[in-house]
């Protein structure tokens, strides 16, 4: 069970409160541990020991990126994307990146769930790793605008580094530019290769829809 609530234990969701009170045998098998962050946030998780600096964010309440996309319909995806359209276009235009490519990356990375966290700790809409976010000046990866700004800037950097080759830029975005350089092209990683196919598929669909709407 992976739950989070930012207002403290006194305002637990009713279902969890009843579970804690009425179901001790169940909790004996699936124990819930409570951790408190420095800001007072109460974290509920099935992990007894947390990593340094709460490294295991996905263990206590942030939805994983793959979970965010499970069973999502085009209509739901469109509703999720709508609040971020202006920011995507603003930063894409600023950095000279096709906004449809940015949308395709966000779709594959998080399905427009700004709270998504990957199994390796990448965060937010464009799934920025903490070190990358710091280097890009992103203060809060869960802040949608801050995340989009940093993600588009990083994507722009990858496009520049690989001579505007979208395929190599996406490989670098997913696996890191060092991996692309070492392998002198798309790395032989199934995850990266599938990632490129998925992003390019969404990119083509979005580009076609944008052209049809003109």
Q: Cα–Cα distances in Å, from 121 out to 2, 15, 110, 115, 132?
A: 16, 28, 13, 12, 11
Q: What is the pLDDT of residues 68-86, one digit of tens each?
A: 788 889 999 999 999 999 9
% the chain with pLDDT above 90 = 59
User: Is there a catalytic annotation at residue 191?
Assistant: no
Q: Are 159 and 97 in contact (CB under 8 A)?
A: yes
Residues 146 and 205 in one domain: yes
Q: What is the pLDDT of residues 15-34, one digit of tens each?
A: 444 433 444 443 334 444 55
Residues 56 and 146 in one domain: no
Tell which of 60, 92, 108 closes a domain. 60
Q: Are 149 and 135 in contact (CB under 8 A)?
A: no
Using the Cα atoms of residue 115, residue 116, residue 119 and residue 122 in order, give the sign of their dihedral: negative
Q: Give mean pLDDT, residues 158-172.
A: 98
Tell which of 30, 60, 90 closes a domain. 60
Q: Which of 109, 135, 184, 191 is catalytic?
A: 109
Q: What is the pLDDT of residues 107-129, one digit of tens each?
A: 999 999 999 988 888 999 999 99
Range of the domain at 43: 3-60
- Report pTM: 0.71
Tell which of 26, 44, 60 closes a domain. 60
How many domains, in total, are found in the chain?
A: 2
């Amino acid at each position: 069970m992976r739950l989070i609530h930012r207002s403290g234990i006194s305002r637990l969701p009713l279902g969890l409160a009843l579970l804690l009170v009425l179901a001790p045998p169940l909790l004996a098998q699936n124990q819930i541990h409570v951790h408190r962050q420095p800001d007072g946030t109460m974290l509920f998780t099935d992990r007894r020991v947390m990593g340094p600096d709460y490294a295991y964010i996905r263990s206590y309440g942030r939805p994983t990126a793959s979970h965010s996309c499970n069973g999502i319909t085009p209509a739901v995806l469109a509703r999720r994307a709508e609040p971020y359209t202006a920011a995507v276009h603003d930063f894409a235009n600023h950095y000279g990146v096709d906004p449809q490519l940015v949308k395709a990356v966000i779709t594959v990375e998080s399905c427009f769930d700004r709270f998504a966290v990957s199994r390796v700790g990448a965060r937010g809409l464009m799934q920025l790793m903490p070190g990358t976010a710091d280097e890009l000046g992103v203060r809060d990866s869960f802040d949608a605008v801050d995340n989009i700004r940093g993600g588009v800037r990083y994507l722009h950097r990858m496009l520049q580094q690989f001579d505007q080759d979208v395929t190599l830029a996406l490989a670098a975005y997913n696996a890191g530019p060092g991996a692309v350089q070492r392998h002198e092209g798309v790395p032989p990683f199934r995850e990266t290769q599938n990632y490129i196919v998925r992003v390019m598929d969404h990119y083509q669909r979005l580009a076609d829809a944008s052209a049809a709407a003109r």
